[in-house]
Structure 1
């Protein structure tokens, strides 16, 4: 049965992959972006809306049966503190007006420092300021759920994939390799570190929005067994390029001068201890296997090379 799906944050890679998966399943899709850019890919109409405005949020989800909140905000603490609570409050209100099922795409920041694999049952114990914000958003959503919001939560590990411009692995490893430069890993390349492939995120979110077994629960999106940073970089380079590691000390030295390093520093624990993400519950329930890294990295690298060739 075809439903009306509205994707909030359709200009990002997760929004694009979700729209593609839903269209492939013959679902009715509307993409919502802040900018009026009409280029959303074939078959999906575009709505321009600022989700920080309640009226815009209500207008954006009008007629929706399933709403996906996959929005990405600028990676700055001040922006997150200011905008995320308002966006989530407005989306909750808009979804309730329509009686729509909200599928919320989350990261793992709210788990904080976890000993052992992260699972859907891992406690919410943030150990960073961004993690505290994500935990507070979960509380907002839970209150909305208690007041009648139909809610499903999906989480992924750090992601990578074709055109994933906000992915650390894409920007630090795949894009440099595509230009013949050495790739980089953060802090400790000998530790296991899970990564989720973005087409798998889109496929999984489409399942969560269309399969009644998913509703009202938390799910970890299918993610292949973790490799080490060295193993990822070997796959990316074919063993033919040297790679380097940026130490924690170097990050600390650069933080006062480099905004990205400053914003990422509080989450450095994710690269200085094992970061292992368990998605077995989703995989066994919905019979979906994660894309192997040997396949996903090749496809993502092909796209990075295409972009590098096109841009000179």
Structure 2
């Protein structure tokens, strides 16, 4: 029974949504992140069940203090691509060490990079074929968790979108559309891809963590089906009441931008996801846990646009 949880990376997209979902279940939630200012600002949204705890995940002592106060530990920390190696491994090692020492279960929010190329919807038992530097690193992290001796849940998610998802592909596009009628869309606009509304992902992971029989396993948490860039543009056009078009960003363009932008340079190897997208099979979750929350894309995209608009107005 989880009465008190720790969410590491609480000011990021998934961390924010997960803290929100746990607090709504009346679970005291330690919101851990580096910026105390951001944590205090978000506490107004989370309410009285949120406990603010600022610290650095690269510091073992900061991690251990947060872990000792919780019944379960959620790892939702994300850092910029250029710092993934070696910082992701250091952070994970700090968390697993503290969880093992204090006998705490561990819940890990992961992406789809370790699946590599998949020709059909990927189930948890599908062979993983990571062929990129990032995919191989994520697989190494998974193996660290599986061999740690710590009770764990590993959850794979598609690309996020929604409120507080500032470093995602769709946010990159939608933030441009607010001010003009054309936006850069990474990849071809006619290929169906899978995204997940971040609040749905957080709800599903929170439910999973409360099921005692879900530990020691890998889980897929998919979105509400697939959607093309052209369909997203149509939803945006209808919501903003003006014509909107997306300009596809191809691999050579990403590579060129990467000369000046380290983040884009790191994204080049992931462009395969925009040509042969990985789609997740969530049948295991629905058979054993229950119906997955699936906000329709039209609703989720409109809510995301409203969030971007409100933030833009607040900044003026």
TM-score normalised by L of structure 2: 0.92
1:267 equivalent among 270, 276, 279: 270
4+ aligned runs moved over 4 Å, structure 1: none
Closer/same/farther in 2, CA of residues 295 and 283 from structure 1, 3 Å limit = farther
What CA deviation, in whole Å up to 9, does each residue of 1:99-144 have, x standing for no partner? 1110011011111111111222222221111111111111111110
Decide whether the 8 Å contact of 1:151 with 1:216 is kept in 2. Answer: yes
Closer/same/farther in 2, CA of residues 85 and 274 from structure 1, 3 Å limit = closer
Decide whether the 8 Å contact of 1:103 with 1:208 is kept in 2. Answer: no
Q: Name 1:191's counterpart in structure 2.
A: 191
**For residues 311 and 124 of structure 2, what CA distance do their matches in structure 1 show?**
36
Decide whether the 8 Å contact of 1:75 with 1:263 is kept in 2. Answer: yes
**For residues 254 and 180 of structure 1, what CA distance do their matches in structure 2 show?**
21
Q: Name 1:307's counterpart in structure 2.
A: 311
- SS for the counterpart of 1:61 is helix
Q: Name 1:178's counterpart in structure 2.
A: 178
Q: Name 1:289's counterpart in structure 2.
A: 293
- SS for the counterpart of 2:36 is coil
Are positions 1:254 and 2:257 aligned together?
Answer: yes
Bigger CA drift: 44-53 or 133-142? 44-53
Closer/same/farther in 2, CA of residues 91 and 139 from structure 1, 3 Å limit = same
Q: Name 2:54's counterpart in structure 1.
A: 48
Decide whether the 8 Å contact of 1:226 with 1:277 is kept in 2. Answer: no
Q: Name 1:22's counterpart in structure 2.
A: 22
Are positions 1:120 and 2:124 aligned together?
Answer: yes
The number of equivalent residue pairs is 306
Q: Name 2:74's counterpart in structure 1.
A: 68
In structure 2, the gaps of 5 or more residues are none
1:243 equivalent among 228, 242, 246: 246
Decide whether the 8 Å contact of 1:63 with 1:98 is kept in 2. Answer: no
Q: Name 1:168's counterpart in structure 2.
A: 169
In structure 1, the gaps of 5 or more residues are none
Cα RMSD of the aligned pairs, angstroms, is 1.7
Q: Name 2:213's counterpart in structure 1.
A: 213
**For residues 287 and 185 of structure 2, what CA distance do their matches in structure 1 show?**
32
**For residues 193 and 13 of structure 1, what CA distance do their matches in structure 2 show?**
20
